[in-house]
Amino acid sequence: MGTFTKLTYHVVFSTKYRKPSITDRIRGRLYEYIGGIVRNSNGSLIEIGGIEDHVHLLVNLSPARSVSETIRDIKANSSKWANEQSEDVSRFEWQKGYGAFTVSYSQIDPVRTYIRNQREHHRRRKFNEEYVELLQRHDIEFDRPFLFEAEHHG
């Protein structure tokens, strides 16, 4: 008997300090590059979307690598690529950490729709609120004071 898997995840992570770094100029190419990283990890990108300060991925990932290894590669390689492309003064960085939630096959279409409608969704709700709701909906415990990185000045 063979081994068969379909491991689907909804992954969310933001730019460092939630800075609006995913500009219209770079968004499409960044998303394509992230899709290539997923494919090189023997996964498939089902959907990608977000706004200027965060990204959502709906992905099938290979069981041969851990979720954390794959996401580490996505974030490290895509930020390196973005910095090589950027003519902006500020450095492109992702936040530490991420959210990853399993998605059953029957819920793929609703999650795709949710990801596609991020721009509309965030006219009414901030990323921080959305992220806390995702954690709560998946019954994940967290400590609010340490949930998001804060930028320090001085």
pLDDT digits (tens, 9 = 90+) for 27-41: 999 999 999 999 999
Residue 110 has pLDDT above 80, yes or no: yes
Closest CA to 57 of 11, 5, 111, 113: 11
pLDDT tens sequence across 40-50:
999 999 999 99
pLDDT tens sequence across 70-83:
999 999 999 999 99
How is the beta sheet containing 44-51 ordered, strand by strand?
44-51, 54-61, 7-14, 99-102
Token pair for 11: 């992954």
Can you list the positions of beta strands (E) in 36-146? 44-51, 54-61, 99-102
pLDDT at 16: 94
Q: What is the CATH architecture of 7-143?
A: 2-Layer Sandwich (3.30)
Q: Please tell me which residue, 3 or 110, carries the higher pLDDT value.
A: 110
Q: How many residues does the chain have?
A: 154
Domain map (residue ranges) of the chain: 7-143
pLDDT at 152: 54
Q: Please tell me which residue, 4 or 90, carries the higher pLDDT value.
A: 4
pTM across the whole model = 0.91
Instruction: Specify the residue for token string 């998303």.
Output: 31
pLDDT at 86: 63
Q: Please tell me which residue, 37 or 127, carries the higher pLDDT value.
A: 37
pLDDT at 144: 83
